């Protein structure tokens, strides 16, 4: 049975609730009985300020009970919440202002709910025509008989392919995807442990917060910067807790391995971790193996790793490796690949504490589709392709969102007759989905595609890629198919030698040194490749050419 988004308000638990890490390093708890009162007070407050059914409300709260009260309060009042990233999330104040103003305007927000210390900057960005409301003073209120909005969430994409675009997610979409997530874990997992993922993105919001609240399960919350400062503390929150679920994207796996020393793990017991759900970006075999090897002495089992695939246009989850077996990976022969044709597979392995040796680009399986979803791999004409053939991932089912808030020139991710064409390339093998990369972030040469994610994976495996300081772009400079590596690192030794065999003789590889600020990232830490490529074409990105597969000494 699918649980309604607000049914928990009717009989909230006094024993379960939210735990959150405060600024002073202590944990505070808010039982669901108290949170329900804050939700009702928020709903009454926004209605008193003129909100009508179906209007959007921007939510500018950091991770914590204030965000939960604002989000569910808008829903309870019949409005549509649109979460905003806090200013610190984007690093650059000017960029955050532009992003926030775009989101507020794009969703047509009637109001902005903001933390008290963010109210001034929120008012400045929102403009004089929109009221900015701090958390309500009252702790409870009588609920009103307000009809629910058709759109229950405006989820803005991270902007990795241009300006952030809003996805209209219905109440039914949310309830269906939450039910799918619960069904995939059956009764074996006790619920999410401690999530540090941001609540303004789908994985942190829907899996990290909404799913446990709707299901009445306790959940712990840390802010992303608290995880960055103390990743070991996040690990220790899962000590000795059977059946818990960790949420961690690939860059989080890499960060833990880089920052946590093995000698600091004494006494840590992770044998009770039932699942490590890793999604939001491509899962790299070397990163997963290093994470499992680091934490293997703590009892973490390789079978706990659950690679997943999803996107905002599908509400959240599309597929996830099922419980009960070790995740799988397959290797594809090096070199460009052709859309619509079978992939040259050269190996297979399970994801364990040591990555397999041998040639090829490894792809980690993202499991089978969640119950109720149908996943197809299609060619350019939308025709289904057989197992093992590379094509576009298409999704159909009750969690496919209503559509976008507006249409932009980039139509890579699109809705057609109730089916979502994701703009992601991948393949199916024995019923399991493997994700290769964004179609628009690939370079097509003589009918074959080179994916920048494959190139970044190769650089990472060779220790030549520094996250946040390097971006791989692909496109045409004039008539020349080119892979351009922008890096703030002082040296490009071995980069060209690593990439040249993968891209083939028809593609030029250039490595350009830039200032760190040139590497444009989304609010979720993904490279804004299209933005950087356009700047490169416009001559706005300049720097010394560190290396080239063609010749040296030129500038891009």
Identify the pLDDT of residue 554: 37
Which residue did the predictor score with more confidence, 454 or 72?
72
For tokens 């103390």, name the residue: 230
Neighbours of 434 (CB within 10 A): 26
- Whole-angstrom Cα distance, residue 366 to residue 160? 21
Closest by Cα among 264, 272, 189 to 238: 272
Measured at the CA of 183, the angle between CA 177 and CA 185, to 5 degrees, comes to: 115
Span 165-169, average pLDDT: 91
Span 146-151, average pLDDT: 93
Q: Cβ contacts of residue 275 below 8 Å, gap of 6+? A: 185, 189, 245, 246, 304, 306, 323
Query: What are the CA-CA distances from residue 58 to residues 86, 122, 276 (Å)?
Result: 12, 10, 31
What percentage of the chain exceeds 90 in pLDDT? 60
DSSP for 332-373, please give it: E-SS-B-TTSB--EEEEEE--SSPPPSSSEEEEB--EEPTT-
Neighbours of 139 (CB within 10 A): 11
Identify the pLDDT of residue 492: 78
Structure tokens at 144: 């009103």
Query: What are the CA-CA distances from residue 129 to residues 86, 125, 241, 539 (Å)?
Result: 21, 11, 49, 39
Report pTM.
0.85
Identify the pLDDT of residue 368: 96
- Whole-angstrom Cα distance, residue 309 to residue 303? 18
Looking at residue 389, what DSSP letter applies? Answer: B
Which residue did the predictor score with more confidence, 334 or 553?
334
What is the separation of C-alpha 200 from the centre of its chain, rounded to a whole number of angstroms?
10
- Whole-angstrom Cα distance, residue 434 to residue 429? 8
Query: Are 331 and 360 contacting, i.e. CB atoms less than 8 angstroms apart?
Result: yes
Structure tokens at 335: 């070199």
Q: Tell me the pairing of strands 56-60 and 442-445.
A: unpaired
Domains for the chain: give ranges and CATH numbers. Answer: 30-149 (3.40.50.980), 176-440 (3.40.50.12780), 462-548 (no CATH)
- Whole-angstrom Cα distance, residue 73 to residue 62? 16
**In 376-476, where does DSSP find H-type helix?**
452-461
What does the CA dihedral 537, 542, 546, 547 come to, rounded to 10 degrees?
10
Mean pLDDT of the chain: 88
- Whole-angstrom Cα distance, residue 296 to residue 290? 10
* Edge-to-edge strand ranges of the sheet holding 244-247: 191-192, 244-247, 273-278, 305-310, 317-320, 368-369
Structure tokens at 530: 């299209």
- Whole-angstrom Cα distance, residue 326 to residue 170? 34
Q: pLDDT band at 80, cuts 50/70/90?
A: very high
- Whole-angstrom Cα distance, residue 91 to residue 464? 25
Coil/strand/helix, residue 265: coil
Span 240-244, average pLDDT: 86
What percentage of the chain exceeds 70 in pLDDT? 93
pLDDT tens, 211-229?
999 999 999 999 999 999 9
Identify the pLDDT of residue 160: 47
**In 17-134, where does DSSP find H-type helix?**
32-48, 65-76, 93-107, 119-126
Whether the pLDDT of residue 437 is over 60: the answer is yes
pLDDT tens, 497-547?
989 888 888 899 999 999 888 888 876 677 888 778 878 877 888 889 998
Identify the pLDDT of residue 81: 98
Identify the pLDDT of residue 373: 97
Span 272-293, average pLDDT: 90
pLDDT tens, 289-300?
999 999 999 999
Identify the pLDDT of residue 186: 59
Query: Are 69 and 135 contacting, i.e. CB atoms less than 8 angstroms apart?
Result: yes
Identify the pLDDT of residue 441: 77
- Whole-angstrom Cα distance, residue 88 to residue 90? 6
Identify the pLDDT of residue 253: 94
Which residue did the predictor score with more confidence, 334 or 262?
262
Identify the pLDDT of residue 466: 72
CA atoms within 13 A on the CB side of 168: 18
| Secondary element (H or E) of residue 447 | none
Dihedral sign, Cα of residue 42, residue 45, residue 46, residue 51: positive
Q: Tell me the pairing of strands 305-310 and 317-320.
A: antiparallel
Span 118-141, average pLDDT: 90
| Secondary element (H or E) of residue 260 | none
Query: Are 8 and 214 contacting, i.e. CB atoms less than 8 angstroms apart?
Result: yes
């Amino acid at each position: 049975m699918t649980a309604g988004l607000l049914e928990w308000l009717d009989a909230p638990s006094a024993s379960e609730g939210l735990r959150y890490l405060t600024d002073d390093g202590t944990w505070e708890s808010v039982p669901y009985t108290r949170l329900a009162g804050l939700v009702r007070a928020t709903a009454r407050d926004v209605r008193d300020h003129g909100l009508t059914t179906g209007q959007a409300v921007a939510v500018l709260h950091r991770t914590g009970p204030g965000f939960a009260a604002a989000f569910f309060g808008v829903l309870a009042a019949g409005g549509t919440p649109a979460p905003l990233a806090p200013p610190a999330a984007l690093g650059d104040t000017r960029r955050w202002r532009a992003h926030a103003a775009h989101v507020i305007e794009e969703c047509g927000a009637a109001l902005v709910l903001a933390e008290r210390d963010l109210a001034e900057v929120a008012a400045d960005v929102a403009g004089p025509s929109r009221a900015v409301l701090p958390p309500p003073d009252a702790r409870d209120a009588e609920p009103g008989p307000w009809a629910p909005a058709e759109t229950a969430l405006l989820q803005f994409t991270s902007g990795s392919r241009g300006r952030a675009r809003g996805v209209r997610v219905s109440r039914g979409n949310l309830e269906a995807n939450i039910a799918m997530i619960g069904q995939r874990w059956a009764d074996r997992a006790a619920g999410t442990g401690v999530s540090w993922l941001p609540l303004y993105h789908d994985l942190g919001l829907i899996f990290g917060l909404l799913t446990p609240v709707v299901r009445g399960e306790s959940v712990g919350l840390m802010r992303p910067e608290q995880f960055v400062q103390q990743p070991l503390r996040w690990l220790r929150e899962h000590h000795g807790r059977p059946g818990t679920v960790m949420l961690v994207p690939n860059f989080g796996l890499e960060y833990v391995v880089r920052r946590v020393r093995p000698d600091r793990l004494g006494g840590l017991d992770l044998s009770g971790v039932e699942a490590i759900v890793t999604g939001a970006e491509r899962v790299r075999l070397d990163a997963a193996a290093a994470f499992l090897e680091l934490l293997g002495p703590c009892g973490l089992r390789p079978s706990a790793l659950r690679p997943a695939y999803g996107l905002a246009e599908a509400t959240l989850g599309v597929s996830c490796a099922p419980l009960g077996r070790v995740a799988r990976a397959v290797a594809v022969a090096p070199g460009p690949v052709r859309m619509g044709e079978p992939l040259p597979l050269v190996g297979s392995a399970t994801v364990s504490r040591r990555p397999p040796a041998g040639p090829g680009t490894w792809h980690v399986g993202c499991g089978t589709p969640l119950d109720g979803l149908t996943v197809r791999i299609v060619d350019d004409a939308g025709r289904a392709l057989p197992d093992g053939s590379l094509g576009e991932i298409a999704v159909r089912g009750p969690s496919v969102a209503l559509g976008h808030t507006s249409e932009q020139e980039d139509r890579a991710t699109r809705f057609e007759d109730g089916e979502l064409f994701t703009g992601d390339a991948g393949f199916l093998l024995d019923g399991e989905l493997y994700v290769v990369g964004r179609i628009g972030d690939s370079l097509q040469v003589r009918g074959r595609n080179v994916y920048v994610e494959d190139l970044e994976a190769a650089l990472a495996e060779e220790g030549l890629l520094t996250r946040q300081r390097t971006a791989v772009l692909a496109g045409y400079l004039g008539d020349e198919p080119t892979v351009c590596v922008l890096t703030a690192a002082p040296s490009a030794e071995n980069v060209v030698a690593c990439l040249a065999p993968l891209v083939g003789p028809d593609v030029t590889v250039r490595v350009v040194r830039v200032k760190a600020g040139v590497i444009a990232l989304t609010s979720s830490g993904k490279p804004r490749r299209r933005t950087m490529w356009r700047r490169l074409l416009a001559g706005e990105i300049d720097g010394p050419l560190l290396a080239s597969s063609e010749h040296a000494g030129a500038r891009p």
